[in-house]
Amino acid sequence: MSRAAVLCGLGGALPERIVSNEELAAQLDTSDRWIRTRTGIGQRHVVAPGQSTSDLAVQAGAQALASARGTADRPDPGVGPVDLVVLATSTPDRPCPATAPDVAHRLGLGNVASFDVSAVCTGFVYALATAASMITAGVAGRALVIGADTFSTILDPADRTTRAIFGDGAGAVVLRAGEAGEPGALLGFDLGSDGSGADLITVRAGGSRQRSVPGPAAAGEEFFTMDGRPVFTRAVLDMSRSSQSLLERVGWSAAEVDKVVAHQANIRILNAVGEQLGLEEKQIVANLDRVGNTVAASIPLALRDAVAGGELQPGHRVLLTGFGGGLTWGSAALVWPELETGRPHR
C-alpha cells in the first residue's frame, strides 16, 4: 500500500457577532428578500474590533487538534506530533510576515514548518493539496491545515453586494501519514488557475503594484471588489470542470459521490454546479444560509457543519471543490473517516 495523507481531525470557529440580513438592510439599500433569493444567505458572522484572522485560526486549529487527539485514542499508527502548519488566507493579520508561524506558536506547536497559502476562496483546497503532498513526499508527518479569513475587515462598508455575501470564520483539518486504502486518505486533487481574470476579484491597493506608501492609497482602493456576474459564470464552469476531471481520475461517477462540499459562494452557484454534474439536491452540502461566504474557511466549515448535523457520515464518498480569486479553482476527493469532532461550532 502506498503512503498517503489521511484526514484525522476537524474543527471550526466563528466570531460571536451575527449580522442578519435585516441589520444590513437597515444600513444599506438592500433587503432580506433580495439577499436570500439572489444568494441563499440569511446571516453572517463578523469579527469584533481588534479580533483578527489568527484569533479565529487558533480556535479552529485547537479544535481540529483536539478532534485528532480524540480520534487517536483508538489505535492509530500514524499519530505523531504536528510538524507542519499551512494556513490558507487572503486576510493575513499583516502583509508580512505570514500569519501561520504566529498561529503555530500560539497553539504551542514548537518550531514546526509553517507558512500561508494565498488562493482566496480556493485557498483551503490548495493548502490541503500542499500539505498532503508534503506528507506523501515524506517532508512532513502530520499537518494542521487551516482556512481562515476575516473579509469584513476589507469590505467597503457602503458596498451592498459584498457586504451581503461575505462572513468571517475559520475551519481546520489535521492530516497524518497513512496508507492509500484507509478511510480519510486523500485520493487526488485537481488544481488550476487563470490569471487573465485577476481583476475580477481583487484588492487594488497595498501591494507592490499599487503602493500605499509613501502616501495613502486612492480612496476606496484598499477595499475588496468583485465583478459578480462573470465571477458567477466562471465559478460554475470551473468548479464543474474541475470536479468532473477529478472524478474521472479517481474513477467515481457523479452518482457515486455521497456528498459534494463546494465553496459556499451562492446557493444558485451550488445548484448550477449540481445541475452541470447531474447531482441530486441531497448530495450537495450547504451551510451558507447561516455563515455566508467565509472564503478560505468555507469548505472546512461546511464539512464541520455537515458532520455536526449528521449529514456527512463515515464511509461517504466526498468531493470538495472550490473557486476563487486569481482566478483559481481546485477539487479533492476522499472517503470520509470516523472522527471525534468535539463540540459543534456556533
Q: By CB under 6 A, is residue 228 in contact with ligand ACO?
A: yes
Contact stretch for ligand ACO (CB under 6 A) within 96-104, 159-167, 208-216, 332-340: 159-167
Q: CA 104 → CA 8, 73, 114, 170, distances in Å? A: 18, 23, 7, 15
Q: Which residue stretch of 96-104, 139-147, 304-312, 317-325 sits at the interface with ligand ACO (rule: CB under 6 A)?
A: 317-325
In the set 8, 287, 293, 345, the catalytic residue is: 293
Catalytic residue among 121, 266, 287, 345: 121
For the stretch 303-322, what's the b/e string if a residue is b when 16 or more beta carbons lie within 10 angstroms of its beta carbon? bbbbbbeebbeeebbbbbbb
Determine, following the binding rule CB under 6 A, whether residue 170 of this chain makes contact with ligand ACO.
Answer: no
293 as an active site residue: the answer is yes
Binding of ligand ACO by 91 (CB under 6 A): no
Which residues 6+ apart lie within 8 Å of 224 measured at CB? Answer: 151, 154, 155, 156, 162, 166, 201, 202, 203
Measured distance CA(300)–CA(131) in Å, rounded: 15
If binding is defined by CB under 6 A, does position 266 make contact with ligand ACO? yes
Q: Which is nearer to ligand ACO, 24 or 175 (CB)?
A: 24
Rule CB under 6 A: say whether 177 interacts with ligand ACO.
no
Distance between CA 291 and CA 294 in Å, rounded? 7
- How are beta strands 84-88 and 113-117 bridged, if at all? parallel
Segment contacting ligand ACO (CB under 6 A): 29-37, 126-134, 239-247, 329-337?
29-37
- Known active-site residue 287: no
Of 6, 39, 98, 114, the one binding ligand ACO by CB under 6 A? 39
Please, are residues 40 and 302 in contact by the beta-carbon 8 Å criterion? no
What residue ranges bind ligand ACO (CB under 6 A)?
30, 34-35, 38-39, 120-121, 160-161, 164-165, 201, 226, 228-229, 231-232, 235, 265-266, 269, 295, 323-325
